[in-house]
Structure 1
């Protein structure tokens, strides 16, 4: 009986940790670099940001700008998010760009909330803007992670030719890394340019993939410390497995001295026995690269959640 009780308590603890871990993901901020879009779309940035914040998806501003470019291109349409159909109207029925943004971003926000509830990944959210919310259910029933194969089978199940199965790829081609995360970050890194590039080159292969609690390699997916352990390990730097252990293994640096390639640590992001509960890779420009939120990618440290939980920075030992 005693063994049964211990087992039940252990299972309950794992569930609690997983739930709080996922809550931490939902509190996350922008996982994206700057949208690479022309001036004709850049002019909508202030309004997109304003409307996105109104509907609590301000962290998706860059992706929303990429969606605007994908939907409007060089067509000259005033329905710049092609949001008429989300209101049950014929295409291009909306003739005011501000109305198009309000309708489209409100719809996008509803998809984000539903995907959060179903624990689906970033690709599902973006693809669902094209396919509709039914795609979230489809992905949720097939592992929670959108793939090109799932998008194609969903399209085929609707008679073929339904939507754009490559919509996620088409949108994300307009979202790129900023200079701080590239050459500039490499030149500033305490690890040296070549080593930093190797680390971020490996990390970049997983951008957009889903956060996986307990994941530590490409076949399982990654949680926060699993990602850092793996990508630094591929560059020949051995890190222990947990965020707390990685914190203990690094040399602490002041915020004024932090450089790209250092680790950034957080406390209290979910309930567990450790002081340090989350870790990311500092990339410069007060941003980090991490596994959390709606997947793996870039995140601003200016977000109030991260500011409230910041514990400090650590430099790995080469």
Structure 2
């Protein structure tokens, strides 16, 4: 019986080791068992087989077939559980994948990012999961993710401003109200920015926009606010307002609301470019890993990232940065557009191409620096080490 207890303790120890390493389980990105799972399987198998050997020696051969069957069942069951866990991990997106599509992650506060999963769950419940990027942008615009009413949605529920005392109530109401705006906009053939502006103005703006064709514009928002406020103005020292009219808004909601939200959203007319940059943003904040050319590595190097994200958009590029330049059509720096590749020398390339980045517009690149993320093409390193630019030949 002491021997049986010993083997039971080995199995328990293996299970504890596996449960104490949940991060490795969550980080698994393919359908193979993780190292911790394999360790557990090996320990369980060894313990079971040792127990079988002990019982054979002590009891005899009468129950050997039964013991073998039991051992096989335990081993197979363990393997099945392990594989199911890994497959589930494979089909569960990483946080970056869940929150990044169409949103400029580098501009969001950590407080807003922390609510990403809650926003996604609420959006899925309302059937508007494709607009999670707008919900993140709305929260950032409203509160930077701070306070008990991060969506500033209490008024839409008939409460006083700031009337929620639980952020989850704020999120549920805010997402529900935005979903109403989205559905009404769709029913009236209005675009998504009309729905966004209605989150601030109220859904009456959708009726107003529909009467003018359903396409949002700042001028349309301004005329609605001017009409509702009877022309009363309020000072508004925001850069967008200052550049537009010197720094005022009409005293009805915020006529610049959709513009403010849109500063966190990116979109491209070129469908391939949109796919490439959507894919790239999934890995925002990941580590630089030499040789990394897929999520399986836990990070990317510069050319590995470029090759991988373009492949997800249906375009095959060579593995190395010099080869990627050769596969591109050379263009001048003044001609660069989102989706183009920028090539640089680095400390070890001896003046030749040693680094590659994807241009995403507005003077920014997305690249596998340390960490993977967004960088400024005008910072000292990029300005001093730029060599050439290329447009992927079969991009369009």
| Structure-1-length-normalised TM-score | 0.49
Give the greater-gyration-radius structure (CA).
Answer: 2
Higher relative contact order (CA 8 A, sep 6+): 1
